[in-house]
Amino acid sequence: MDLETNDWKDLDQADRVVPSADVTLKLQNVTLNINDGQQIVQKGISGAYFATVNIVGVGSGAAPEDQTSLSLQNHFTTDGQTLINLSNGAIFSVADGFFTSFGNSNSQRGGLIAENSTINSTIRTASTTDVTIKNSVLKGSVDSYLLLIENNDGNNAYKGTNVTLENVQASSLNQGEGSFISLDLNGKEAVTSVKLNNVTFDGVTDAQFNGTYVTGGSDFVVYASGENSKTTVEILNSDLRLANMTFGNYSNSSSNAGTIDVSISGTSPDQKTTILAKNLEVHNSRAESPNAGYSTKVTITDYVKLDVADVNVGYANSNLSGQAILNIGDNVEMTLNSLNVRNSTMADSGSYALFEIGSNTTITGQGALNLGSTGANSGEAIIRFTGENSSLSTSNFQTNNGVKNGGSVLFEMLGKNNSYYNAGDFNINGYTIAAVSGGSAGVVVAGEGNTLTSVKRIHIGLNDTNDNNDWSYTGAKAYFHASSSSADNVAKINVLQFTLGLSGAKEPIEGVTYDAQSELFFLGNTKVRGSDGVGAVSNIYVGTSGTSLGGTATMKVSGSNNDILVSNLQIGNSDEGYSKTSKSELIMQGSGNTLKVSNLRLYANSSFVLGDNAGGWISFIADSDGFSTIEATNTDIASGFISIDLSDLTGIYENEKFTLISCENSIGLNESNIKITLRDGDEEGAAHISIDSADVGSGYELNLYYTSYVPEPAEIAAIFGALALALSAYKGGEGLSGELREAQIFEERPFALAEGFFLGQ
Shortest CA distance to 202 belongs to which of 217, 222, 220? 217
pLDDT in tens, 117-134: 999 999 998 777 899 999
The predicted pLDDT at position 510 comes to 86
CB 258, CB 227: distance < 8 Å: yes
What's the CA gap between 522 and 495, in Å, rounded? 14
Q: pLDDT-based confidence at 757, cuts 50/70/90?
A: very low
Instruction: Compute CA distances 32 → 3, 5, 53, 135, 623, whole Å.
Output: 5, 9, 5, 23, 87
The predicted pLDDT at position 748 comes to 30
More confident residue, 624 or 695: 624
Shortest CA distance to 298 belongs to which of 281, 316, 286? 281
Instruction: Select the highest-mean-pLDDT range: 11-20, 201-210, 711-720, 732-741.
Output: 201-210
More confident residue, 746 or 408: 408
Residue 73: count of CB within 10 angstroms of its CB: 16
pLDDT in tens, 269-309: 999 999 998 889 998 877 666 777 788 999 999 999 999 98
* Residues belonging to the chain: 761
* Side-chain-side CA neighbours of residue 539 (13 Å): 14
More confident residue, 291 or 358: 358
How distant is the alpha carbon of residue 167 from its chain centre?
A: 34
- What type of residue is 87? S
Instruction: For residue 169, give every residue at least 6 positions away whose Cβ sits within 8 Å of its Cβ, in sequence order, or none.
Output: 136, 137, 138, 199, 200
Kindly report which listed range (391-405, 445-459, 620-634) carries the lowest average pLDDT score. 391-405
pLDDT in tens, 418-430: 999 999 999 999 8
DSSP state letter for 66: G
How distant is the alpha carbon of residue 385 from its chain centre?
A: 8
> What are φ and ψ of residue 96, in 5° steps?
-55, 135
- Strand 206-207 versus strand 214-215 pairing type: antiparallel
pLDDT in tens, 246-255: 998 765 554 4
The predicted pLDDT at position 345 comes to 85
Measured in Å, how far apart are the chain's first and last C-alpha atoms?
103
- What type of residue is 370? N
Q: pLDDT-based confidence at 501, cuts 50/70/90?
A: very high
Kindly report which listed range (22-26, 164-168, 428-432) carries the lowest average pLDDT score. 22-26
The predicted pLDDT at position 625 comes to 96
What's the CA gap between 140 and 359, in Å, rounded? 38
Residue 4: count of CB within 10 angstroms of its CB: 10
The domains of the chain are located at 1-145, 536-709, 725-758
717 pLDDT exceeds 80?
Answer: no
What's the CA gap between 478 and 502, in Å, rounded? 10
662 pLDDT exceeds 70?
Answer: yes
The predicted pLDDT at position 251 comes to 57
Shortest CA distance to 102 belongs to which of 155, 142, 160? 160
Kindly report which listed range (104-118, 129-143, 491-505, 561-575) carries the lowest average pLDDT score. 104-118
